[in-house]
Amino acid sequence: MAIAGKPLWRDCETAFARIDELCGDNTSRLFAEPNVKEQEGGRLVVAWFSSFDDEPKRLGELDRGKRARIESNLAARIEALRPALADQGIGETVAAMLNVADEASIVAVGENAVLTNWGILPEEARSSRAAFVRHSEKTIGPYLPSGMSPRVPGQPWAAVGGFATAGLSPPRRVIVPEPTAASAQEAQPSASARHRQAWLWPIAALSLVFAASLIYAAWPGNLVYPVALPSRTAAPPVNSDEVNRIIEERIAKMNTELTKTGCETDSSILGPLLDDGSRGPAAPAPAEGPAQ
């Protein structure tokens, strides 16, 4: 593409410097730098150089997580170009730079989105407004923030967010139907069931604990029963009158013996004599037989 007869690629360093001045440092790094060489027959060979040090990869080669990050990065970098697009001196140039040749022109260099083959449109895409919009929808359109669009120099065409601003139908939107009375009635039993499940959980938990306690108690070796002690036989009742009579008799007998002399006293009332061992061993009893 060319503006006022001047190709976009010629002296693009001036455009990059102006973009960074208006939008912030390194904003222009979204666009790869072209190195154009003309071969025999007027054929041009363009090599693209990125400011990021990494191997470029197409979006289709990325895993889902990284592709989502690259697409978010691309939308943010395009959003940063708003001041340049609104500038009277460079706005038309930057809008033309947002055109890319195909989907493969959007690459990931590390964690950064980079545009190659920018400022290029196939012949078919420049044939009509509808063709231009279709091409934009397949390439840069899905990543355009609200109100931003690539432009074709000399044409009033625009594709905002991948859709034409005039002359074409807007994209279809998925509308979630509002719940009807029938669907509300169908949903009610489910809510009641969830409510019943909510208060049944504590009962089930208590039942489980009680059952585990019973199993633990009945399991051999877990519950220790106290050893049964032998029962003691009850002593026969004591006749206190009889006991008192016997004691009184012994006291009376002892008083009687105390009035006697030592030789006449019956020592049996005092119980057996205690031997303190001073008399030596007791003599053996004589054997029974005729007296000698």
Instruction: Say what the pLDDT of residue 249 is.
Output: 81
Instruction: Say what the pLDDT of residue 1 is.
Output: 78
pLDDT per residue as tens, the chain (292 positions)? 778 777 787 778 899 999 999 999 999 999 999 888 877 766 777 888 888 888 999 999 999 999 999 999 999 999 999 999 999 999 999 999 999 999 999 999 999 999 999 999 999 999 999 999 999 999 999 999 988 999 998 888 888 754 333 333 333 333 333 444 444 444 344 444 454 555 556 666 666 766 666 665 555 554 444 444 454 555 566 677 787 888 888 788 777 777 776 666 666 665 555 454 545 555 454 544 444 3
Tokens of 264: 């006449």
Instruction: Say what the pLDDT of residue 6 is.
Output: 76
Rg of the Cα trace of the chain?
A: 58
How far apart are alpha carbons 153 and 64 in whole angstroms?
A: 36
Instruction: Say what the pLDDT of residue 225 is.
Output: 44
How far apart are alpha carbons 99 and 81 in whole angstroms?
A: 14
On whether the CB atoms of residues 139 and 103 are closer than 8 A, the answer is yes
The tally of CA atoms less than 13 A away on the side-chain side of residue 108 is: 18
How far apart are alpha carbons 136 and 56 in whole angstroms?
A: 22
On whether the CB atoms of residues 12 and 33 are closer than 8 A, the answer is yes
Instruction: Say what the pLDDT of residue 218 is.
Output: 58
